[in-house]
Amino acid sequence: MSRTFLEFFAGGGMARLGLGPGWSCLFANDFDPVKGAAYRANFPDAGAHFSGADVWSLSAADLPGPAAMAWASSPCQDFSLAGGRAGLSGGRSSAFFGFWRLMEALDEAGRAPPLIVVENVVGLLTSRGGADFAALCAALTGRGYRVGAIEVDAAAFTPQSRPRLFVIAFRGAPPPDLSAGGPFVTPAVARARDRLEGAPRAAWTDWSTRSPAGRNTRLADLLEPDGQVAWNPPDLTRRLVAMMSPVQAARLEALRTAGGRHVGAFFRRTRREDGQSVQRAEARFDGLAGCLRTPRGGSSRQSVIVVEDGAVRTRLLTPREAARLMGLPEGYVLPRGVSAALHVAGDGVCVPAVRWLADALLEPLLDSLPAARV
In tens, the pLDDT along 217-236 reads 999 999 999 999 999 999 99
Specify the pLDDT at position 372. Answer: 54
As a whole number of angstroms, the distance between CA 206 and CA 245 comes to 41
Q: What confidence tens digit (pLDDT) does each residue in 136-155 have?
A: 999 999 999 999 999 999 99
Specify the pLDDT at position 275. Answer: 85
The domain limits of the chain are 3-216+349-373, 225-317
Cα dist from 20 to 65, 315, 359, whole Å = 19, 34, 10
pLDDT at 179 over 60: yes
DSSP for 112-157, written as a single string: --SEEEEEE-GGGGTGGGGHHHHHHHHHHHTTT-EEEEEEEEGGGT
Name the residue with higher pLDDT: 373 or 160: 160
As a whole number of angstroms, the distance between CA 260 and CA 340 comes to 35
- Residue 336: Cβ within 10 Å count: 8
Catalytic residue among 76, 137, 291, 350: 76
Q: What confidence tens digit (pLDDT) does each residue in 74-129 have?
A: 775 444 444 444 555 554 447 788 899 999 999 999 999 999 999 999 999 998 89
Q: pLDDT averaged over the chain?
A: 91
Active site residue 137: no
pLDDT at 297 over 50: no
Which superfamily, per CATH, for 3-216+349-373?
Answer: Vaccinia Virus protein VP39 (3.40.50.150)
pLDDT at 24 over 60: yes
pTM beyond cutoff 0.75: yes
